[in-house]
Structure 1
Amino acid sequence: MTILVTAASGQLGHLVVDALIARGASPDSIVAGARTVAKAADLADKGVRVVPLDYTVPESIDAALDGVDSVLLISGSEPGNRVPGHLNVIAAAARAGVSKLAYTSVSHADTVELVLAPEHKATEEAIAASGVPAVLLRNNWYMENYAGDLAGAAQTGVFSAAVGDAAVSAAARVDFAEAAAVVLLEDGHVGRTYELAGPRATYADIAAAMSEVLGREVVYAPATTEELSTRLASFGLDEATVGFVVALDTDISRGALDVSEQDLTNLIGRPTTSWVEAFRALTPAS
């Protein structure tokens, strides 16, 4: 069986390849697709075949899929511009007759009120319409999304967001990567939709984990959307970016990422990474 991992030069893609190998896949059975091949040179050093793959260049996708049985479509990195590239990959997978297409979606993509969800919902619908045998991996939030907040808290002792007392069910990127490796390597997952999430944590809980890792008190300070907008603008962010971030916090405040499913731990066969473990990995010098 040959497996293609798209966007393999990215952080999640790298980790998926590592997880595939750790779970027994031969490196020469893995194809790593990367828009910039040089960024995946370390994967080539492991014996993985690295090929050019750009979601906006259909012929590169067709070439990457040659001889491939299963493919992981990692969602594009540009919110607002993801769907056309996803459609190109789905169409190429249909042409290639792959036996399994796994897609990294977002938590409860078909029902959640989350600014990121519509593109994922549209992609899921396109996959269903294509007839390609598929698995949906609906990832909750990445703990690594708070790396900047952790760095800021190290300086100020404050972790601030406009989410009120809401919670997220985030997990570490390595956990999501391992789940993807499991469904790619094992039979029995086609047709399934997995809601992948870690344990529920409020922002006060996250601040407590920051405190433990940083060795200093970190206080969660709820902000209003107006305060958040002003702070983001002071960093030099453009109006569209400010609006997007504020919309994310607003959606989180309404419970968009507060879920309780156990699919992730069931798939990977172990507890998910804790906030403390994840933050320690982000501060290796501490």
Structure 2
Amino acid sequence: MKIAITGATGQLGRLVINKLKEKIPTDNMIALSRSVEKAKGLEVEVREFDYEKPAMLKPALKGVDTLLLISASEIGKRFSQHKHIIEAAKSAGIKWIVYTSLLRTDNTSLDIGAEHKVTEKLLKESGIPFTILRNGWYTENYTSSVPGAIRGGALMGCAGNGKISGAARADYADAAAAVLTGKNHQGKIYELAGDNFFTLSDLAAEISRQTGKNIPYKNLSEKDYTSALKNFGVPEEFAKVIAGWDTAASKNDLFDDSHQLSRLTGNATTPLSVSVANAIKG
């Protein structure tokens, strides 16, 4: 059985491939990437796969049985890109697509939810057997702010007391590998998130504990947080997006307590303390 992984040179894609190497022979894996050069270090078969070049997608999927469709990284372009991939997969005779979607896609207020929702609809209408992994927030999305919080003496955001059930990228990669190599997953939709939630106040407290410094959490309005991000050099449009994600977090859109992720992998998800320690180490 040949498994192909899109976005193979991305952070999640690399982790999935490394996890799959523990479970199946490398001959059964194909890394799909825009840059063949970047993917050479993965030590598996590599095929060029550019979402913006639909004509090249079907040939790249020749001989593939299962496709892990890791959601594209370009917000705003995902609908057309995913559509091209699903159409190519159907034409190439792919037998199963596993797609990384977004936690609680059906009712999330996150702006990126719309593209995931449409992609899920396309999958269901494609006739190809599918599994949907609705990934929650990567803890790294927040711990990437740890060095800046230490330098600035505070962690800023506009998530209020929102509960964030974050898990490390490696946890989500473990789940994807478990599904790809497991049984009885077709037709299922999994809501994946960390075992334990944290608030941004909890994150600030953990940074303080590990550094021995007083790093408080400063909760701002969405407008003021957007301005703060711009002052730190974040482009205005992306600053608005990030602040919008925090506002969604304040509504508990990033919270889930179903523990489906740890049940799939058989392991507890990475604790916040470990993710913070990794961020401090750099």
Q: Same fold (TM over 0.5)?
A: yes
Aligned to 1:139: 135
Contact residue 212 and residue 276 of structure 1 kept, 8 A: no
Question: Displacement, 1:116?
Answer: 1.1
Q: Percent identity?
A: 37
1:51 aligns with 2:47: yes
Aligned to 1:82: 78
Aligned to 1:93: 89
* Residues in 2 aligned to 1:80 and 1:275: alpha-carbon distance in whole angstroms: 30
Could you tell me which runs of 5 or more consecutive residues in structure 1 were left unpaired when the two chains were aligned. none
Aligned to 1:14: 14
Q: Deviations over 1:158-186 (max 9, x none)?
A: 11101111111110000000100111111
Contact residue 106 and residue 138 of structure 1 kept, 8 A: yes
Aligned to 2:260: 263
Aligned to 1:165: 161
> Please, which of 225, 228, 250 is the counterpart of residue 228 of structure 1?
225
> Please, which of 120, 124, 130 is the counterpart of residue 126 of structure 2?
130
Contact residue 226 and residue 243 of structure 2 kept, 8 A: yes
Contact residue 9 and residue 37 of structure 1 kept, 8 A: no
1:203 aligns with 2:190: no
Contact residue 133 and residue 191 of structure 1 kept, 8 A: yes
Contact residue 140 and residue 169 of structure 1 kept, 8 A: yes
Contact residue 157 and residue 243 of structure 2 kept, 8 A: no
Question: Displacement, 1:215?
Answer: 4.1
Question: Displacement, 1:267?
Answer: 0.3
Could you tell me which runs of 5 or more consecutive residues in structure 2 were left unpaired when the two chains were aligned. none
* Residues in 2 aligned to 1:269 and 1:235: alpha-carbon distance in whole angstroms: 40
1:277 aligns with 2:277: no
Question: Displacement, 1:37?
Answer: 1.5
* Residues in 2 aligned to 1:215 and 1:134: alpha-carbon distance in whole angstroms: 48
Question: Displacement, 1:224?
Answer: 1.4
**TM, length-normalised to structure 1:** 0.94
Q: Deviations over 1:202-240 (max 9, x none)?
A: 111112222344343321111112221221222344432
SS in 2 for 1:283: helix
* Residues in 2 aligned to 1:189 and 1:153: alpha-carbon distance in whole angstroms: 41
Q: Deviations over 1:7-41 (max 9, x none)?
A: 0010100000001112x211111000011122222
Question: Displacement, 1:96?
Answer: 1.9
- Which one is further off, 11-20 or 238-247? 238-247
